[in-house]
Amino acid sequence: MAKHASAAVGWGHHHLQKRWLLALLLMLTVSTVIAFFMRAAFDSCDRNVSVDNVISSARDSVQVADKRAPQIAAAKPSPLSFMKSKIVLLVSHELSLSGGPLLLMELAFLLRSVGAEVNWVTFMKPSETDEVIYSLENKMLDRGVQVFSAFGKEAIDTALRADLVVLNTAVAGKWVDYVLKEDIHRVLPKVLWWIHEMRGHYFKLEYVKHLPSVAGAMIDSHVTAEYWKNRTQERLKIKMPETYVVHLGNSNELMQVAEDSVAKRVLREHVRESLGVRNDDLLIALINSVSRGKGQDLFLRSFYEALQLIKQKKMQVPPLHAVIVGSDMSAHTKLEMELRDYVTQKKIQDRVHFVNKTLTVAPYLAAVDVLVQNSQGRGECFGRITIEAMAFQLPVLGTAAGGTTEIVVNGTTGLLHPAGKEGVTTLAKHIVKLATHVERRLTIGKRGYERVKERFLEHHMAERIGEVLKEALRKSKIRSSKHL
């Protein structure tokens, strides 16, 4: 790995990351800062930086910020207020930094904010102590979410007395059989199954055989809901329950940063400084955990092809850089090595930057100019990073697959390309198009932001989820009474 690229994930990067977060302390509301500090705990490996010194340096770099008193708008009634005093059990197959568990945590906090009693169990946990799990569990405890073992009497008792049980992901279905056993018929009528998966290996009867008996299924996109309906009928010979499509929304905390021009400028400057790129360089980012399904390998091929097109046609454009956020060199996977070998082979070490996987995506969204959503196969179930990028007025170059097609309006808020090798050249041309047409790039970004404001905010998601929860509660009462 080249020194220039690896510098992005070293001590200096983490030191600067703490500075970004503490700089925000001077600019954003308390809730925003709390969210960013929680996330920073997982990203920083530098434990020796003096907090006082960092705060001091942040004040020096953002002197204007302490003069800006944040205006807190009057809170609107929550569409989830009917959940006050309701007892909810959330069952997650794992507790990690991946999308499913984090989304369920957001639901937990939304429910707690309206006075619901929220309980959490994690079905699959490593035997050894895990720092991420420990931190996330303590974050939930701090917010009033009760966390206990998935296999104890407390889990069973809570499931029996709960008004609603939410199973998160298909794999969580194994918990129902493993733990509830003879009490299963008393709990299934009040189960809402929240499904995020698109991969074929999740269609196993051992995971989802109880789907026909639950109060309902909640899925993140129409294309995924249709896929589940067809696959369960054709392959498993079971029928889906009433299924509700709920598009996700951006958190209020992320939107605060996205709409704060001073915060974005500070983050942009510090991220670009840590990456060693100039302010007028053009940064194309792919923000996802590195895997074949996320398409980092094909993205690098497109990026290299775009560089060759620009060179061949002698186009006058700013220097292009690719930023891959979601790397994990400690895992020493074959793909991680392949990506770095490809960069070295093509001699583009000074144009490609690898950044460790992180929860704190806002600094990178503030720093880059274009987001690539390159998920392969059937695409993303939804792909929340897409709407997060659009909140920062970034044009999105996405695969024409999965939930991306329900977010990105092709030619208006982004440009779509085919999944697989067939999409490599198309994506390369789209990169060149946005690099050479500044006004179009900015216009697409603004339209993406407008689309987010119209339908992809936290209150939009809360309204959609609220309607589903009301219906699930209604059905569970009817079905539970039949078992009495």
Q: What is the pLDDT along the chain (484 residues), one digit of tens a residue?
A: 443 433 333 333 444 444 555 445 444 433 343 344 334 433 333 322 222 333 333 334 444 334 443 444 456 789 999 999 999 999 999 998 888 999 999 999 999 999 999 999 999 988 888 888 999 999 999 999 999 999 999 999 999 999 999 999 999 999 998 899 889 999 999 999 999 988 777 778 889 999 999 999 999 999 999 999 999 999 899 999 999 999 999 999 999 999 999 999 999 999 999 999 999 999 999 999 999 999 999 999 999 999 999 999 999 999 999 999 999 888 779 999 999 999 999 999 999 999 998 878 999 999 999 999 999 999 999 999 999 999 999 999 999 999 999 999 999 999 999 999 999 999 999 999 999 999 999 999 999 999 999 999 999 999 999 999 999 999 988 876 665 5
pLDDT digits (tens, 9 = 90+) for 184-194: 999 999 999 99
Write the DSSP string, 24-52.
HTTTS-HHHHHHHHHHHHHH-------HH
Q: Which helix (H) or strand (E) holds 440?
A: helix 438-455
pLDDT of residue 246: 97
CATH code given to domain 252-456: 3.40.50.2000
- Give CA–CA dist 189/170, Å, rounded: 17
Beta bridge pairs of residue 195 = 219
Two domains, one topology: 82-249+461-481 and 252-456: yes
Question: CA-CA distances (angstroms) from residue 338 to 152, 300, 334?
Answer: 44, 11, 6
CATH code given to domain 82-249+461-481: 3.40.50.2000
Q: What is the DSSP letter of 410?
A: B
Domain extent listing, the chain: 82-249+461-481, 252-456
Beta strands in 238-359 (DSSP E): 243-245, 282-287, 320-327, 352-356
Q: What is the DSSP letter of 240?
A: -
Beta bridge pairs of residue 420 = none
**Angle between the N-to-C axes of helices 30-43 and 131-142, in degrees from 0 to 180, rounded to the nearest 10:** 160
- Give CA–CA dist 250/361, Å, rounded: 12
pLDDT of residue 98: 82
pLDDT digits (tens, 9 = 90+) for 368-403: 999 999 999 999 999 999 999 999 999 999 999 999
**Mean per-residue pLDDT over the chain, rounded:** 86
247, 221 in Cβ contact below 8 A?
yes
Which strands, in side-by-side order, build the sheet including 164-168? 146-147, 117-122, 87-92, 164-168, 191-195, 216-219, 243-245
Phi, psi dihedrals of residue 68, rounded to the nearest 5°: -105, 100
